Amino acid sequence: MRTRLACVNGVDLLMDYVEDVLPGPQRKAVDAHLGGCPRCVAFVRSYLETPRIVRTATAVAMPAGVKESLRRFLKPSLEEPRDS
């Protein structure tokens, strides 16, 4: 039995596809879809690039003055007992 896959269904399977945990028939369906859908190929590539983009974007060091200001601002809330 061959399963046809629409773009919208492929998005639901993307994480499992990228992590290589899809069962064989589903993986084959996604592979077949990617073979004929350049938009989905581009989507998978961008999905795979996301961790690198986030690392690059967050690699900037916080200026010392901002760090100290943030610590002073957060200190009172960290010292207050929380209701649990």
Tell me the pLDDT tens digit for each residue of 31-82.
Answer: 988 898 898 899 889 889 999 999 988 888 888 899 899 999 999 888 866 6
Rounded to whole angstroms, the Cα distance separating 19 from 49 reads 14
pLDDT for residue 82: 65
- Token output for 80: 């207050």
- Token output for 26: 């589903």
| Backbone torsions φ then ψ of 9, nearest 5 degrees | -70, -35
CB neighbour burial string for 4-14, b if at least 16 within 10 angstroms, e if fewer? ebeeeebeebb
pLDDT for residue 69: 94
Give the CATH number of domain 7-79; options: 3.30.160, 1.10.260, 1.10.1740, 1.10.10: 1.10.10
pLDDT for residue 74: 92
